[in-house]
């Protein structure tokens, strides 16, 4: 699971742009922590009570996961399933 001397936590999707599910334990731990934080934000900032805070937390967590995938995943590009 090494690509050009860096360990890859998230492989690129076979079709389309982006990343698939994690391919090593570090990626799975990162994904699990992100999912727990996302569920915690939903529980604490229930969308009906604090909609703005909930939206901000979801956007913040999505940006954080995107940055982690950029740093620890394969280089994103459009794929047609032939790679």
Please report which confidence band the pLDDT of residue 75 belongs to, taking 50, 70 and 90 as the band edges. Answer: confident
Residue 48: what are its φ and ψ, rounded to 5°?
Answer: -75, -25
Backbone angles phi, psi at 52, to 5 degrees: -65, -45
Helical axes 51-72 vs 25-44, angle rounded to 10°: 170
pLDDT of 32 reads: 95
Query: Is a pLDDT exceeding 90 seen at residue 35?
Result: yes
Residue 27's closest CA among 13, 5, 7, 41? 7
Please report, for the chain, the start and end positions of each structural domain, with discontinuous segments joined by +.
Answer: 2-12+22-76
If DSSP codes are grouped into helix, strand and coil, which group holds residue 80? strand
pLDDT tens for each residue of 43-74: 888 767 788 888 899 999 999 999 998 988 88
81 or 27, which is more confident: 27
Q: Indicate the pTM of the whole model.
A: 0.78
Mean model confidence pLDDT for the chain: 84
């Amino acid at each position: 699971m090494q690509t050009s001397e860096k360990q890859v936590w998230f492989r690129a999707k076979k079709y389309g742009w982006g990343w698939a599910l994690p391919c090593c334990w570090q990626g799975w731990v990162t994904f699990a922590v992100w999912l727990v934080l996302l569920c915690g934000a939903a529980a604490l900032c229930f969308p009906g009570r604090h909609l703005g805070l909930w939206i901000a937390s979801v956007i913040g967590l999505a940006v954080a996961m995107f940055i982690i995938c950029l740093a620890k995943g394969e280089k994103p590009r459009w794929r047609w399933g032939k790679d």
